[in-house]
Amino acid sequence: MKPLPIRVKLTAWYSAVLGVTFALFGAVAFFGMQKSIETTVDESLRDRASGIQELMERVLSEGPERLGDELQEHSELSEEWGLSQVCDAEGHWIYRSRLMRRYDVPATDAARSVIYNLQTQSLPLRILATQANLSGRSYHIQVAAPMDDYEDALDRYRWVLL
């Protein structure tokens, strides 16, 4: 049997190296895009939780009895607040947006900020749960962002890479 010509060997090596390079590039690009999306969503969630906490500080300085109403009024003015909820340390709801009620997102008792994913009724959510100590009381704040559009974009990108 005759050995393969150098052209065939070089072509095979070139194709193999090129294929591995493209596969690695695709994997790095996919996971980089996924991480970028999560980072952007997480920053947005932190900003929203901070906004809720600032509003709570302002309202609580005037008296805690108006807190639920103020949170409700503010949520009606801001579309971003569509997925947010606040409860006290005992788990009693002070404010719960309509969407958080509908998706039945449970309260958490996170002592520190925690970000997690939750699949609810075919809607994937990314949730930030944090605790705020205001006026001598502890409150649990949760804000969420729907991830369905981002997951669809990642699925389409995955198919483009294939």
Q: Which domain holds residue 16?
A: 6-161
For residue 25, the model assigns a pLDDT of: 94
How do strand 114-120 and strand 93-96 relate by DSSP bridges? unpaired
For residue 150, the model assigns a pLDDT of: 93
Domain for residue 14, yes or no?
yes
For residue 96, the model assigns a pLDDT of: 92
Domain for residue 36, yes or no?
yes
The CATH number linked to 70 is 3.30.450.20
Provide the strand spans (E) within 13-136: 84-88, 93-96, 114-120, 123-134
pTM: 0.83
* Contact in structure between 86 and 56 (CB atoms under 8 Å): yes
Total tally of structural domains belonging to the chain:
1
For residue 81, the model assigns a pLDDT of: 62
For residue 136, the model assigns a pLDDT of: 86
Domain for residue 79, yes or no?
yes
Low-confidence residues of the chain: pLDDT under 70: 79-81
For residue 154, the model assigns a pLDDT of: 92
Domain for residue 106, yes or no?
yes
Domain for residue 55, yes or no?
yes
Domain for residue 1, yes or no?
no
3-class secondary-structure state, position 16? helix
Distance CA 147, CA 118 (A): 10
For residue 141, the model assigns a pLDDT of: 95
pLDDT in tens, 62-87: 877 888 888 888 777 776 667 999 99
